[in-house]
Amino acid sequence: MKDKNIDIRAELASIEETRAAFELAVKENRFQDLMNYGTKDAMSLTPDCGTWEAFVALQGQPSGEFHYDSLVMKPMETIVVSDSVAYDFGTSTTYYTNADGKSIGLPATYLTILKKDKNDGVWKLHREVANTRNIQ
């Protein structure tokens, strides 16, 4: 099997473009667009315990001033494994306004597997696991 030449810098820039577009869609409350940033069979396991419990409950039954404000991702390591698979490891903070109108920031650590879409060449989330532990 012949190895393909991969422009790592270009692929990392493309992954960053996808990340930035995803964060912007969240910030602009374009939740219907979020599916465009994942594969058809994407799976995401996000925190649902500790300080995240209230956020998860409000997502299911919004009340009062609840608002999903933004998501800020800070990658620590992004590795392009091949021309179609990469992984991204880092921290994130989910910001929301709770039912009482108070702004809350929820830290997490994530590991994602990204796949490059064969049709449009865009990197997309395939698998994500996040937990409530935030590493610095």
Give 45-70 pLDDT, tens digit per residue.
Answer: 988 888 888 888 887 777 777 678 89
For residue range 12-53, what is the model confidence (pLDDT) as tens digits? 999 999 999 999 999 998 988 988 999 999 999 988 888 888
For residue range 116-132, what is the model confidence (pLDDT) as tens digits? 999 999 999 999 999 98
Domain boundaries along the sequence of the chain = 8-131
Domain boundaries 8-131, corresponding CATH code: 3.10.450.50
Query: Structure pTM?
Result: 0.86
The residue-averaged pLDDT of 68-76 equals 93
Alpha-carbon span 9 to 5, nearest angstrom? 12
Residue 3, pLDDT > 60, answer: no
| Secondary structure E strands in the chain | 38-45, 67-80, 85-97, 103-116, 123-131
Residue 1, pLDDT > 50, answer: no
Q: CA angle at residue 108 from 103 to 114, to 5 degrees?
A: 120
DSSP annotation of 100:
T
For residue range 87-101, what is the model confidence (pLDDT) as tens digits? 999 999 999 988 888
Phi, psi of 101 (to 5 degrees): 85, 10
Q: What sign does the CA torsion over 29, 58, 65, 93 have?
A: negative
